[in-house]
Structure 1
Amino acid sequence: MQQNPPPELRRGDFQVLITAEQAWPAFERAVLNARSEITASFRLFDFANRLLSPEALETGETWADLIADALQRGVRVRLVVSDFDPVMAAPLHAAAQDTLKQAQEIAAGLAPDQAARLSVSAVLHPARAGLLPRLAFSPFVMRKLRKLPQRLRPAAASRQGVPQLYPVSQHQKVAVIDREVLYIGGLDLNRRRYDTQEHDQPAHETWADVQLMLRGPEAEEAASHLERFQDEIALRKQPPDGKHIRRTLSAPRRAGFWALSPRTVLKEIEEDHLEAFKQARQLIYLETQYLRSSVIARGLADAARRNPDLSLILILPALPEEVAFDESRGLDARYGMALQAEALQEISAAFGARACIASPVQRRMAAREAPSVLAGSPMIYLHSKVLLTDQDFAMVGSANLNGRSMRWDTEAALRITQQDRIRTLWHALTRHWWQEELPAEALDPARAAAWWQNEIRRNKLRRPEARRGLLVPHDPDRMSELRQPLPGATEDIV
């Protein structure tokens, strides 16, 4: 069931969309209102995804029907989805190929002139691992290849001598309608991403995320980015500085015999975070799927040491998705957990009692103890990527606070400096987590962290159904036995 954004979230053509329950219907209506063009880039996009809004349901049942309707109305549609390493990320590679097949089916049901308006491509980032890391990883890659089900096994892979490695992806989630309306944030379009604002479904189906929709010059800038980014990461064009749309871009190394990593071209999102930390006077607020970057952790810690009046509210998932729900014990997950533990230790030491670090859970008792349980309740999986400092600066986009998002993957985020938009964002975020209107103390940047900390600690002691809101203290030592440091390995890989 869809829930429209409340009227106060629509002020000034700026909507804050919390979870797919709000975001997808708004996106559907924007597509319905398109007059000439839709340009988009997502990590995952499933045309079989069910429609939610009553208006869109008049075109059919799925996004394939909605896009076919747009094409029949004369709208040009250009979509880029990420392709992935066919061995190391075989299920994601298969998802990209499924998207291409769905697009072909849409085109086959249209008149030739209508089908010609549709362009869907699965783009593999041009960066490749050098020969040295390929040789080093080849036994692991070949073992993984042999374990793949036949339906996921790439036809040519078994004939290769030393397998190729494709370590970088297009991670952005952004769409522009008629170069006037921008839809941007952390939310892809597939069934796994659907969740309600109450998160009243099984833990493994929860997905807390934030998306924005707005009108203004930001849309034109985002459209230009979508038109250029493939040339920029292939070094065919020099990227301009982003004013409203801030990016991470990387490119292949010119001489990369020894290198696993690409060459970072732009790290605007990282730079904006570090500058925001320096400028913050009272409060830094963060929501992130991962906090694994030593650069980000050091920036936060330095800001805390410089300013004794600065506090922090940090919202993280209780555990990585693959550990909590899939019981993965893979080396990448274990290394990521080790990096996050180091980052949280540095941040906590610097902020001390001024840091409120929390994780979301459902307000019900879990049936049994499991990795997906925290404080006796099923966890809510957090995927959003939000930065807000004081009432002066905010950023919402696709980038996590890990080295991969800061330096490698293609990412896009919206820089927000208008105070009315920042207030709208702040109130929407607080309403989501607390499920109620909060007192002035809980919203004041000078006092919010202390108020949140007090209530979140009380939530740990309350029965789940009696808790205030959805947050409990984050447990940094949860499943610490899984952590695996990898001395000498780049942190940017996870």
Structure 2
Amino acid sequence: MSPVGEARGRLLVPGRNCWRIERAHRLAFLIDASAYFAALRSAIAQARRSVHILGWDFDSRIRLVPHGAGDGYPEELGEFLKEVVKRRRHLHMYVLSWDFAMIFARDREWVPLYKMGWKTHPRARLEFRLDDKHPVGSSHHQKVVVVDDEVAFVGGLDLTHGRWDTPEHRPIQPYRRDAQGRLCRPNHDVQALVSGPVAAALGDLCRDRWVRATGRHPSYDDTELPADPWPETTRAELFDVDVAIARTDPGYGNGTPVQEIRHLYADAIAQARRTLYLENQYFSSSLLGATLDRRLRETNGPEVVVVSRLTEEGWLEERTMGVLRALLHRRLVRADAHGRYRLLYPHIPRLQRPNLLNVHSKVLIADDEFLSVGSANFNNRSMGFDTECNLALEARGEPRIRQAIAEFRNRLLAEHLNTTPRAVAQEMERHRGSLIRGIEALQGAERTLKPIDPVVPDDADALLPASALVDPERPVDPDKLVAEFVPAEAHRSIAGRVARYLFTLLVVAGLAAALRWTPLRDWIELGPIVETMRAFATWHWAAAATMGLYVVGNLLGFPVTVLVVLTALVFGPLFGGIFAFGGALLSAGVMYALGKRLGRHVVRRLAGYKLNRITRRLARKGILAVALIRLLPVASFPKTNLVAGASYIRWRDFWLGTVLGIAPRIALTVVFVDRVQAVIASPGLDTLAGLAVVTAVLIGGGLLVWRLFGRYSALPATARQT
């Protein structure tokens, strides 16, 4: 343990880099979910007055102790909580989970409050709610559990599937399964456990979040005094120590953003003297990157060791967060003139992609003086966009606290290096406090820490706009989003085309109503038309013919919306949507190839100067911008495809952007046509309500586009450029 830190000034300052500093009677660090989940179950089983749970995800089907707790309560989390409330007549539980984005729907348990009957629990003493009080694209990311305002857990672990694991992180672990029984990848994480006044302060945080999410204050029964719910098998590592609570909150609803964690991380890095040890699943924060860059350029700056996961979760993260990590790593390597920077991952033999160890922890340790554990990642979102909660500990030269911080860091490294905390401490001491040399001395051929060398892709600049949306530092202003991706000269065209799209659908609805309820039905014989449509739909070559019609229609400049409407009328909502989607993609590909064949000079004359300027900008912005031009039609579908092929847009970006962009419009169009048909065929309250909902979505989207583009296009040219 290095002797630095005695003369250092105070780092933790309430109102700047933390919310409150409160006393913890006891403090422990729980490494990996097997330790956390068992301790949490023990604490909740002892609850007498209240339990608050905040999370990014919550799955009532998991087992906190997969091999069996043996405590007389049900094993599944949801049934366990219900039974605890049933046995404690004065106990109230409040579970608040993020109202998740649909991209996570496949991995989430759908609305457990209805499945489990929590909403109708006697006297509503166990309540589950989804928290949707966030800016668009933001999430509730705090992971906090408070029991009786006496003990609290804070860290990176949610009460959901895919989290439970042991420090061994075995390639095959029978208990590491999701709710469907499928094996999960190994997972490494950290949770802090505190008791005393700091737990009561975290209770205040939970109550404030509950009020903001639900509009109601939690109620308690104070007739029974709480007992001490500290888990009996958990050893405290520190007693009677001050602990800071730091938050991130975008300020949704109250208009007051909180960025304490942003300042906390930057201040800790700025004050570090010898070593910085970071564990996190992400490494993309522009603020932390700039701060680390400055420290690495210093002649006598600290060593920086970052432990993260080798691979991201899926193709989207690889193309966004992965690219940002690669760019930040390249920047720090260039700044590291003194060889003090390492980016590492825990290598475990026999683990294969995509089941490599998921480093999910959020830890920052500076020297033996400062420690932070919580939910905040080292990315931009956690600095100001999502809600986060961290606990921080500062030694200020006090030996017992410095020793506890060093031992916690050594425990983490010992797990990754397959050794003991004592061996880590000895190697660091042997190398005069050098964290890097100590790690390198313990690296082996089996389980160990290995370097990550992420490669910056050639098209990184095209991917950055998408990454900026996936990892924003603050809520995204729609006007700025529009200005970033869509040239000003295209705004008037967008508003007009969206208006024509809505007008086309309203004409379809009006014509259908006229044929059903006006004398027009007597003038036009629908029987032969309907029979012809049914015969075509059952023809063996109907699908291929429909695809061909889309191609021919695009070549002739026929509006794709009309083709989608006709396809939905002939084939119905399911197959109509599939054929419309396939036909649109095929015709787009054909026009793209034709544009590439004709060349830029020919297509430029056909498309015009404005559209060529638009595509040049879109080519620099990548996949997301192509998707945006599909959602917000800057130009006609055929013409855009033609210009894309002839100019600057790569096929992969064009194809993926087209898939993402046309799917919502086609789906809405097909559903609208289906609801119109349902109302015409069987007018009733349910069919009218369905049509009203779809119409409201269409009109609402149209009004939003008009607000963004119609208003903008009315501004003077000089005003648009500011």
TM-score exceeds 0.5 = yes
Which aligned pairs between 1:82-481 and structure 2 lie closer than 5 A?
82-86=98-102, 88-91=103-106, 95=109, 97-104=110-117, 106=118, 112-113=122-123, 116-127=124-135, 166-201=136-171, 205-229=185-209, 244-252=244-252, 265-306=257-298, 308-322=300-314, 328=315, 330=316, 333-352=318-337, 353-364=339-350, 366=352, 371-372=353-354, 379-418=356-395, 419=401, 420-437=403-420, 438-444=423-429, 446-456=433-443, 459=444, 462=445, 467=446, 469-477=447-455, 480=457
Report the Cα distance in structure 1 between the residues aligned to 2:296 and 2:50, rounded to whole angstroms: 46
Residues 224-270 of structure 1 show CA distances to partners (whole Å, capped at 9, x for unaligned) of 1111136669999xxxxx9721111013499xxxxxxxx87011111
Distance 1:448 1:220, change over 3 A: same
The match for 1:24 among 37, 55, 62 is: 37
Judge conservation of contact 2:309–2:359 (CA < 8 Å) in 1: yes
Aligned residues of 1:194 and 1:205 also touching (Cα < 8 A):
no
Q: Quick one: which amino acid aligns to residue 83 of structure 2?
A: D
Candidates 59, 66, 71, aligned match of 2:85? 71
| 1:389 Cα deviation after fit | 0.4
C-alpha deviation, 1:83, in angstroms: 0.5
The one-letter code of the counterpart of 2:391 is: L
CA offsets per residue over residues 379-403 of structure 1, 9 Å max, x none? Answer: 2111110000001111001111111
Letter in 2 for 1:355: Y
> Residue 3 of structure 1 aligns with which residue?
none
Answer yes or no: is the 8 Å Cα contact 2:96–2:130 preserved in 1: yes
After superposition, give the CA deviation of every residue in 1:121-149 in whole Å (9 maximum; x if it has no partner). Answer: 0011332xxxxxxxxxxxxxxxxxxxxxx
Match of 1:61 among 61, 75, 89: 75
- Alignment TM-score, normalising by the size of structure 2: 0.51
The 1:487–1:183 alpha-carbon spacing in structure 2 relative to 1, beyond 3 Å, is: closer
For residue 107 of structure 1, report the CA deviation from its aligned partner.
6.0
Aligned residues: 400
Question: SS of 1:281's equivalent?
Answer: coil
Q: Determine the C-alpha separation between the residues in 2 that align with 1:284 and 1:31.
A: 35
Residue pair 2:50, 2:148 contacting (<8 A) in 1 also: yes
Kindly indicate whether residue 20 of structure 2 is the aligned counterpart of residue 13 of structure 1: no
Aligned 8 A contact 1:126 1:233 in 2: no
The structure in which a higher percent of residues are strand is 1
Distance 2:208 2:275 in 1: 36
Per-residue Cα deviation, 1:438-485 (whole angstroms, up to 9, x for no partner) = 1434445831222213544xx4xx3xxxx2x432111322x8468564
Give the Å deviation of 1:488. 5.3
**2:189–2:360 contact (8 Å) kept in structure 1:** yes
Counterpart CA distance in 2 for 1:341 and 1:347 is: 10
In the TM superposition, residue 179 of structure 1 has moved relative to its aligned partner by 0.6
Secondary structure in 1 aligned to 2:111?
helix
**In 2, Cα distance between the equivalents of 1:300 and 1:264?**
28
Deviations, residues 58-93 of structure 1 (Å, cap 9, x unaligned): 20121123212221213210110000234x44436x
Give distance in 1, aligned partners of 2:156 and 2:375.
Answer: 4
Distance 2:251 2:333 in 1: 35
Q: CA deviation at 1:293?
A: 1.1
Is 1:359–1:472's contact at 8 Å kept on the other side of the alignment? yes
| Code of the aligned partner of 2:448 | L
Distance 1:427 1:78 in 2: 36
Larger radius of gyration: 2
Deviation at 1:356, TM superposition (A): 2.3
- Summarize deviations over 1:189-210 as a string: whole Å, max 9, x none: 1221122211103595211111
Query: Measured at CA, do residues 424 and 54 of structure 1 come closer, stay the same or move farther in structure 2, by a change above 3 Å?
Result: farther
1:139-196: CA deviations, max 9, x gaps?
Answer: xxxxxxxxxxxxxxxxxxxxxxxxxxx3011011111111110101001112211222
Q: Report which stretch shifted further, 336-345 or 434-443.
A: 434-443
From the superposition, tell whether residues 272 and 429 of structure 1 become closer, same or farther in structure 2 (CA, over 3 Å): same
Question: Structure 1 residues 264 and 198, CA, compared in 2 at 3 Å: closer, same or farther?
Answer: farther
Which secondary structure state, in structure 2, belongs to the residue aligned with residue 65 of structure 1? helix
Relative to structure 1, is the Cα distance of residues 476 and 98 closer, same or farther in structure 2, using a 3 angstrom cutoff? same
Percent of residue pairs bearing the same amino acid type: 26
Higher helix share: 2
Q: Confirm or deny: 8 A CA contact 1:441 1:447 kept in the other structure.
A: no
Q: CA deviation at 1:415?
A: 1.0
Name the CA shift for 1:59/1:234 in 2 (closer, same or farther; >3 Å).
closer
2: CA distance between counterparts of 1:214 and 1:474?
Answer: 34
Flag the 1:209–1:487 CA change in 2: closer, same or farther, 3 A. closer
Structure 1 unaligned blocks of 5 or more: 1-10, 128-165, 237-241, 255-262, 323-327, 373-377
Runs of 4+ aligned residues of structure 1 deviating over 4 Å after TM superposition are: 53-57, 230-236, 479-485, 487-490
Where does the alignment leave 5 or more consecutive residues of structure 2 unmatched?
1-23, 173-182, 217-241, 396-400, 472-722
Residues of 2 paired with 1:205 and 1:25: CA distance? 20
Residue 98 of structure 1 aligns with an amino acid whose one-letter code is V
